[in-house]
Chain A
Amino acid sequence: MKKSFKIAMLVMLASMVALAGCGAKGSDEKAASGGTTEDGKLKPYKITLVYPGTAQKDLAVVQEEMSKYLTEKINATIELKPIEWGSWDDKTNLMKISNEPFDLMFTASWYYYPRDAAKGQYLELDDLMNQYGKDIPGVLGEDFIKGSRIGGKLFALPTKKEFGQGFGLLLSKKLVDKYKFDVSGIKSIEEVEKMLGTIKANEPGVTPIISRKFTNIWEAANYDNIIANLAVARGSKEIKAIDKLEDPKFIEFYKRMNTWSKNGWFDKDILTSDTDQAMNMIKAGKGFATASSLKPGKDKEMSLTSGVEVVQMETAVPFTTTGDAQGAMLGISRTSEDPARAMMFLNLLYTDKKLLNMLDWGVEGKHYVKKSEDVIDFPEGVTADTQTYPSPGGWMFGNQFNSYLWANEDPQKWEQFQKFNDSSERSVILGFAFNQEPVKAEMAAIENVNKEFEASLGTGAVDAEKTIAKWKEKRNAAGFDKVKAEVDKQLQEWAAAQK
């Protein structure tokens, strides 16, 4: 055995060395000059753009068209690389670790931006932007860029879209008309209760409110959540994290949810139901309301996709947190072979209407036809079901305000967005993003505890005070104090850096 074991080890070692020999590729020095040839012209270069989504049938056609246009502009071609939402985590992690070369990648605060930036996956963009993306700051404005910084450094550029989140409910238009509910302005929770009560009393067989999203919406409207139920209360002037589980307002709200549940206002599948199901129930005439984050024209969008008319009603003033500022961004990868060119491309996404709309809607005449300067519609004989280039989502790229509007959309959409952005209340810690790395182990334990309580509390089916007390106890045992200390420390550091 001994001898044979040695031999086996030798065989293994030998094979490892042999294999390792052919794997290492020398990483060559990046061309910092922007890939120019001797006489100052740009060399041809292929830009790779990685974003989540499903590859469309005509992806190659659009890619071809964009490449033609880009060759004229910055002598570059483009490779669009959509990656399925469900495979994104596995795939992109391996891409990053195995040093796969690509230029631009979609990222967001809810999509690992802080983590990847901390790991050095994305390049710092300030210098590049000053050199090759001169138009971007003018388009985005100060707040957007400030909100995207991590530790004062910019690792990705946000899409110019809605800057903040509105909060409220989507209501079945049919029932709103029937009972002549007034949905203008901002409604208090008591006013919402009155409506739900009316529906419950007069519409047997209709569930007043579906899914537990209302609790998410309420929390997001009242706190700037950091992590593990630590949050800065909205409207707070000082930069200090409070524990939501000890906040009387929070406990009060969940007591109210418990009452709602007892009144029979929620649906029976509340534990698992989501917006998708809610829209289906409203469509089937079995539901009245579901909570949703709002933006101008959200109700029209939802009516289009679900095939039932809904109207939106606000329950709080829009609020801008770091999460909203970093809601959709593009970062330049450290593995990019020509970061300068990637930045030039980004600059075009913010300023060049033609290029952006190719990416958003496809090729003119084939995937859409122009009705007027900025309004488009499907070509003859094409419908939403038969289109060959369903939009990857204009909210992911560049300046969404440059995106064409569909004939059935509000022609004032972008003006309304601008108004919405201006009216949205900025959080006192806008731009702060918590880095989880130092408390990763504790966070994993706390997440498990949260899973156990969050859902049941959100359904309103349990006694709020008792559940929250139990939750607190379990959470504290999972190492909450350490997380809190880390949050306080990072907040102080961030506050000091702001001055």
Chain B
Amino acid sequence: MQRKNILNTSMIHLFFWIFTIVSLVPFALIFMVSITDEDSIAANGYSLFPNKISFAAYSFLFNDFSEIARAYGVTIIATVVGTTVSLLITALFAYPLSRQGLPFRRTLSFYIFFTMLFSGGMVPWYMTYVNMFDMKNTLISMIVPNLLLSAFNVLLMRSFFANSIPESVIESATIDGASEIKIFFKIVVPLSLPIMATIGLFNTLSYWNDWYNCMLFIDKAELYNIQYLMTKTLTNIQYLIMKSSSSAQAGDLLAKMPRETVRMALAIVGIAPLLFAYPFFQKYYISGITSGAVKG
């Protein structure tokens, strides 16, 4: 019995070790390529163990760091403001929906649910933000469209409130004379830290990784965010490769594009901060995902 357990555990451990390695190798490769000498890539291809190390790509990037620094600034502002506002709106929407006494509760739930099933389509969506709200080339365009309020997150939060906050706690607070606002901020939110952290992390990730809104709404280079700075380099190259068979000029342009090592270095620069931030979220993250299963 005991032996079987040890065997089982070690199998599981082994599986996860392998899984971890498989996940990490591509990342390690990107990093190694970014510090490889350009000519040695041309000669020998990618390798985890470069035969000539060079930090030329990084010195090239940091040589003109103002662009990257500004893009970082844009990303950080959008992420911080976006995550905060988004979390607040989501919670303020989800909490009333979780309370039994709210009039039109089902209608409102359906209203948010409906947006998950149907969307207006790309063009009206774009025109709403550009022609009506005039958001082109503003920071707001990277905060509001698509990212501010996710119906799924609202429903997730609603079920958390409904299942984890006992009705009796709220009742007793009401009897003690607390207002609805006070109940929400002083009792409900502190009790719901796990879900707040989870959805906060979702939001942070989606804001940090968002390049699509930046691509559509931003024309001015000074408002590019870090992800778009990276994506545009890669998509430019892909696009030109695609077109190079039909246009001689596209092929010529390709030759002027940043080199392999620079592309990889950009990827590392874009991803590093998030790697460091992740462990701090971890403890909430675990309890947020599992809390639904344990009734204490």
Contacts and interface: CB of A to CB of B under 8 A. Distances in A.
Interface residues of A, number: 57
B147 to A, nearest CB: 17
Contact of B42 (A84, A98, A284, A292): A284
Contacts of A280: 41-42
A465 interface: no
A283 B250 CA distance: 21
A25 B134 CA distance: 13
Task: Give the size range of B's interface with the partner.
Answer: 35 or more
A11 B111 contact: yes
Contact of A84 (B43, B235, B249, B252): B235
B114 interface: yes
Contact of A81 (B106, B219, B247, B257): B219
A7 interface: yes
Contacts of B110: 4-5, 8
A286 interface: yes
A441 B239 CA distance: 23
Decide if the interface of chain A is mainly helix, strand, loop or mixed.
Answer: helix
Contacts of A7: 104, 107
B168 interface: no
Contact of A283 (B42, B128, B256): B42
B107 A8 contact: yes
Interface string A283-307: 1101000001101000001100110
Interface string B110-141: 11001000000011001110111000000000
A88 B239 contact: yes
A8 B247 contact: no
B126 A98 contact: yes
Contact of A54 (B111, B215, B236, B248): B236
B255 A279 contact: yes
Nearest to A22: B132
Interface of B: 39, 41-43, 104, 106-107, 110-111, 114, 122-123, 126-128, 130-132, 215-216, 219-221, 231-232, 234-241, 243-257
Given A99-B131, A305-B256, 13 more contacts: A4-B107, A8-B110, A11-B111, A23-B128, A55-B220, A85-B240, A86-B236, A87-B232, A94-B123, A100-B130, A108-B247, A110-B246, A393-B253
Interface of A: 1, 4-5, 7-8, 11-12, 19, 22-23, 25, 54-55, 59, 81, 83-88, 90-91, 94, 97-100, 108-111, 165, 213, 216, 274-276, 279-281, 283-284, 286, 292-293, 295, 301-302, 305-306, 323, 327-328, 390, 393, 395
13 contacts: A4-B106, A4-B110, A5-B107, A7-B104, A54-B236, A55-B220, A83-B219, A84-B235, A85-B239, A94-B123, A275-B254, A276-B257, A327-B247
